[in-house]
Each structure stands twice: as C-alpha cells, then as structure tokens.
Amino acid sequence: MSRAVPILLIVVACLLVLQIIDRWREPQQLRAVYEASQRAAAASERVAGELAALRLALQERPVPLPARGREEPSSGVRDGRPRLGVNFLLPYDRSHLRPELIGGTWRTFNATPKGFNPLLDNSADAGIAHDLVNDTLCMRHPATPDRWSACLAEAVIISDDWKTYTFKIRPGIFWQRPVQAALPGLEWLDRDVPLTANDFAFTLELIRRPEVECTALKSYYQDLASVETPDDLTLVLRWQRKVYTSLSASLGLAPLPRHIYGRHRDGSPIAAEQLGVVFNQHWFDELGGIVGVGAYILERNEPDRLVRFRRNPRHWGAGYHFAAIEWDAEVKLPDPQLVAFKRGQVHTHGLTPAQFKSQVIDRGEPRFAAPDPQDAHAGRRGEFGWEKVVSHSYSYIGWNLRRPLLADKRVRQALAHAFPKERILADVWFGLGRPQRGPVHIDSPYFDPSIPDFPYDLARARQLLTEAGWADSDRDGWLDRDLGQGRVPLRIVIKSHANNPTWDSALLIYRDELRALGIDLRVETYEWKEMLRILEQKDFDAVVGGWQLGDLEPDFMQLWHSSTIDQPRSSNHVGFAHPRVDELAERLREAFTPEERAPIIREIQRLIAEEQPYLFVRAGGGVFVWQNRGPYQPERWLAGVTEGLDRYHPFFNRTPLLWHFVRE
C-alpha cells in the first residue's frame, strides 16, 4: 500500500502536466483550425462559383421560371403590412444577388465587441456581427424598412386580436459548425444540427428567466404568455394582451443554438434549474464563439486586432457578394485610419468632421472630388468616393440622476443652456449633423418640432442655478451648496470615449463655458470596452453616449421606464424615473394606429425634454467614403455603392447588398 501511493501521485502529476500542455497548445490548435478552414473556404468558393455558373446556364434555358430573385406568393395579398388572418409577408427577395460577382474580401475598421452573446452583449459592434452570422424569423429590406418580408419563417398568421403569432419555419436550414469544434473535447460540435422551432422556444425561455442578465430585451417580452412548438417547423407565440411591440419582438426574433447554449463544455446537458446562471458565464462565450444560420461564419477573432467572417456556403438565402469580411480592430486613431484607407487597406470608412474639412473642403486630398453646392452627389466623381449621409441615431451627454449634484432638473436645464450647440455643430462638426431635440429622431414623422431645445443662454443658466441653491459662498470662483453633508462644489466628471478628437474638442469648449458659470467640468477618456463597463455599472457623473435606434416606431420602455433602473445591464443608465412617462410608455404599447400613438409620443417627448436626463446633442450624420474608381486592381474598387445610396432608405442606404468588387 505504501508503494502504491507514490506511484498514484506520479500518475496524477503526469496527467496534470498533460492538461497544462494541452491548454498551452489551444492557441496553436485554433490557428491550425483557422488555416484548415481557409483551405476549406477556398474550396467552397470554387464549388460555389461552379454552381453559380450552372445556375446561370439553367436560367438562360427557355424554361418557365418565377421572376428572378423573388419567391412567388402562394395566395392572398402579401404586401408586408401586418394584418390579421393572412400571411402578409413579402416573399424573400434574392434579386440583389449576382452569383458571378461573388468573391474577394471586404475590409473595414470596426472595434472588437466586448462579447458576441446575442442576449447579453447589445453593443452596436456586436449587433453588426449578429446580423452577419444569424438571421431572424422575418426581416425588413433596406428599401422598405416599414414592411416585413419572409426570412427564416416562410409564413406567419396573426390571430386572436394580435395576441397569437403562428410561424411556419423554412425547412432544410442547418446551424453553422463553429471553428471551436476542432478543439480537443469539442468534437461533439462537428455535426449537422437542423434549425427547429425549439431553438426559438429556447431563446425565449432564456430571455424570460429572471437570472439572465438581458434587461434590454426583457421589457419587450414581459407580456409573452406562452410558447408552443407543435412540430419542429411550427412556432406559436401567445401574448397576454394586445401589445404593439409584440409585432417586432415576434417577427424580428433571432434563434439561439440550443445544442450549444444548453450544454456544458463536455457536451452534457445543463440542468434546467442552472441554465440561467450558467448562461451568463457560458464557456462558448469565453472562447469568443458566435454561431448562427446566416450568410457568414465567424472564422477568426483576435481581440483588438482582427475579426474575420467567411461566406457560409450552406446559407439558405442570398447574402452579400463578398467571399469574406474583415474588421481591422488594431488601428484605432482617426488619422492612421485615414492613411490606411488612402493606401487601400480598407474599402469603406467614415471621415471625422476635421478630416472632411481638411481633406475635402480645403482640398487636402485631390483624390476626393471637390464639393459642389449645386450637386449633392459631387463626391461620387473622385477616385475616393464620398457622400454626406444620415443615420437613425443620436448622441448625447447623459447625467446620472442618482448623484445629488444632478438630481435637480434645474441644474440639468442650466447645463443645457450652457452648451453652445449650434456653435459646436458648426465649428467642431463642420455642419455634419443637426441639433437633436428630445428622445425621438428629428427625421421621424413622430418628432414634435415644438419641444424646447434650451438654447445657449448663460444668463438663464445662472438664474436656474441660483434657484436651485447654488452659490459661490467662499468666493473661490466655484459654485457650491450644502447637500446634507456640508457644502460641496459643483464639480462634474464626464467620461468619454478615447480616440475621439471631435468630442474632445466639443468638451473643451463646454468646459470653458461652464467655468464661466463656476462649474468645474473634468473630462476623462476610456477605451470602448471600459466605457461599456462604466455604462453597465452606472459608474459616472456624466457620460458621452449615443443610441443607434432600431425600429422606426418609437418605444420608450427600454431607455426610459423606471422598472429597469437597477437591473443588470439596463439601458436606463442615467436612472430616469417619471411616473407619467412610465404610464404613457405603457399606454403606447397598447396603441396600434398612428392616430393613437402620435399624441402619446408627443407628450413623452415634451416631458423628457423638460426633465433633461440627457443633454441631447446631435442627430446622426457624417461622411461615408469608399474606394470608388481607378486603374484596375484586384479587390480594390467597389461597384454598387452609389446604387445602394440611391435606392435604399436614407437611414439604411449603406447596407452592402449591392456592393461588389470591380472585375477586370
């Protein structure tokens, strides 16, 4: 027995050494997987090209086929406008895709998302990745964003006074196999798994579990009563009451891979009672994984360096024309990014306002065409194309209403009056973007232009601060007040994104204006991932932020309803609570017609503008640039860009459905 113990210890030590070596080899194994996947992707592209040629040859035969690109409606009127009792979905549109043009790698700049979990990570960068990798039950085309089309669901019937949604899911769709399937112990991922209604039911189960930290999504599904899966291709959602947001929450639902998120790393099922807690720290997320049923597969993820997606050869639908998409996450500063664009290292980009002024207006770069006041499209003439664009977004300075310094709305109104918005937009943004007023985008038909904008007025700001009890009691030049524990100065720390010279300049101007009032504004900058933590943990006095607005129909529950203030990952970062806004936001969800919704939205706008939880700054806009024309170079010049700019809705006209590389 005494001799057996040392032998057993030696065996255990050897096993530990082998485990350490295996962990050490994991990066090399991932690299080997990546190289193997590249070889497979190249082979897939060759096969795809041959199939495309075959399809084109078949299309040229005199055989009666449906109109190219659009599935034929089976019966009834399918115009994409929701109504009861019929399948109203527009047929899935493939008309943009020209198989002979598929190829090449589209490169652009983008930050590495903090994570790829579709429920937990709702940053704009993560959302772009989700759109590449996954699909939704129904979709909105960029040309008609107010109408719904078939996607993963071939049909949907809404019944029971808008409370029941019955989807028929497209057959023959399979989940992508993640690159992590080649790692030791994860071979069980290397198999065909069909998409079924149970994947959607699993997704909704996770969203509704209280322990899952997806506060931003929960408010959209709080009225969901039940989920039924009569068979693998039928999904039935039943809502407790008639709610307007149930339309987009139901039709726009994307599935989660149950065969991954429902299992431990060894492939064993996660116990039902542990599922929510385990999901918040899932092993697949720790490996940087993302998987879907969409047009692209995540092939490579090197944080803060490179993210690469390759075309999914088994995708059921019609994706973009690019064989691969790469995000350069290493070059972060605007000037080096511009240099890289000029060298052709990326194909699309956006100019900062200062770059637009120096490169285009002041003619610092002759390869950009000169502006022409008579021609809004003058930028299309140059080697580097440029065009002024708008986006469904706005930027703001958010005040943390939990902080006693900022709890009084008169202080927040004074801070708004001290912000020289028009001058900053003219001198810092050089006219790129318009003043935003309130929580509804200024181009929305629901926007109320009569709401106050708190114009620049230092005299009015001083008056409001005095009314709120702030004074320079010790004559040191700074306002102070007793907030219950002695007098404190009106000192605000504002946290902003690093590497953003436009906002740096705007905040310097703002700081000087506030100094004239006796307010001490201090600016701190952080990298994007740290900014996400700051927002999630509400770790700020004030913060520079922005919202990429999704649905064209306003909804105020996620950002402004008080029920989410203290929930993890809440979008109500500033802690806004207003009983009347809560009441109206809830009523809005029960209003279905524009005539019912408009007066509610107008009142909410007015109340939020009056309270000033945000200093609303700028409606989204900028200068989009692309590699436009020149002597032929493989994978250099983009065609189809201007066609998309002209054909699609202004908010969505940079969607790259029509883009492709110029062929020799």
- Residue 532: pLDDT above 90? no
What is the pLDDT, as a whole number, of residue 357? 96
Give 41's pLDDT tier (boundaries 50, 70, 90): very low
> 120 by DSSP, 3-state: which?
coil
- Where are the strands (E) in 73-205, listed by range? 105-109, 138-141, 144-150, 153-159, 164-169
Counting other chains too, the contacts that 402-410 makes at CB distance below 8 Å and 24 or more residues apart are 402/538, 402/575, 403/541, 404/483, 404/484, 405/483, 405/488, 405/490, 405/491, 405/492, 405/541, 406/492, 406/541, 406/542, 408/468, 409/610, 409/611, 409/612, 410/464, 410/465, 410/467, 410/468
Higher local confidence (pLDDT), 320 or 11: 320
Percent of residues, the chain, with pLDDT higher than 70? 89
- Residue 28: pLDDT above 80? no
> 159 by DSSP, 3-state: which?
strand
Segment 551-559 shows an average pLDDT of 91
Segment 423-428 shows an average pLDDT of 96
CB 288 within 8 A of CB 301: yes
Percent of residues, the chain, with pLDDT higher than 90? 81
- Residue 63: pLDDT above 60? no
Higher local confidence (pLDDT), 346 or 36: 346
Give 247's pLDDT tier (boundaries 50, 70, 90): very high
What is the pLDDT, as a whole number, of residue 522? 97
CB 239 within 8 A of CB 163: yes
- Residue 26: pLDDT above 50? no
- Mean pLDDT over each residue of the chain, to the nearest integer: 89
- Residue 68: pLDDT above 50? no
Give 4's pLDDT tier (boundaries 50, 70, 90): very low
How far apart are the C-alpha atoms of 209 and 549, rounded to whole Å? Answer: 26
Segment 555-570 shows an average pLDDT of 90
- As beta bridge partners, residue 492 has 521
What is the pLDDT, as a whole number, of residue 25? 44
Segment 86-96 shows an average pLDDT of 97
What is the pLDDT, as a whole number, of residue 234? 98
Segment 64-75 shows an average pLDDT of 37
Higher local confidence (pLDDT), 70 or 378: 378
CB 283 within 8 A of CB 265: yes
- Whole-number Cα distances in Å, 326 to 34, 305, 310, 610: 14, 10, 9, 44
Backbone angles phi, psi at 169, to 5 degrees: -85, 140
What is the pLDDT, as a whole number, of residue 11? 37
Query: pTM of this prediction?
Result: 0.83
Give 115's pLDDT tier (boundaries 50, 70, 90): confident
- Residue 101: pLDDT above 90? yes
Higher local confidence (pLDDT), 590 or 40: 590
How far apart are the C-alpha atoms of 345 and 108, rounded to whole Å? Answer: 8
What is the pLDDT, as a whole number, of residue 121? 87
- Residue 531: pLDDT above 70? yes
What is the pLDDT, as a whole number, of residue 76? 61
Segment 614-626 shows an average pLDDT of 96
Nearest to 321 by CA among 646, 664, 639, 33: 639
What is the pLDDT, as a whole number, of residue 53? 35
Segment 220-245 shows an average pLDDT of 96
Give 75's pLDDT tier (boundaries 50, 70, 90): very low
Residue reference for tokens 């194994």:
29
CB 560 within 8 A of CB 573: no
What are 29's two structure tokens?
């194994």
What is the pLDDT, as a whole number, of residue 14? 44
Segment 170-185 shows an average pLDDT of 96
What is the pLDDT, as a whole number, of residue 91? 97
Segment 457-462 shows an average pLDDT of 98
Task: Give first-to-last CA distance, the chain, whole Å.
Answer: 79
- Residue 44: pLDDT above 70? no
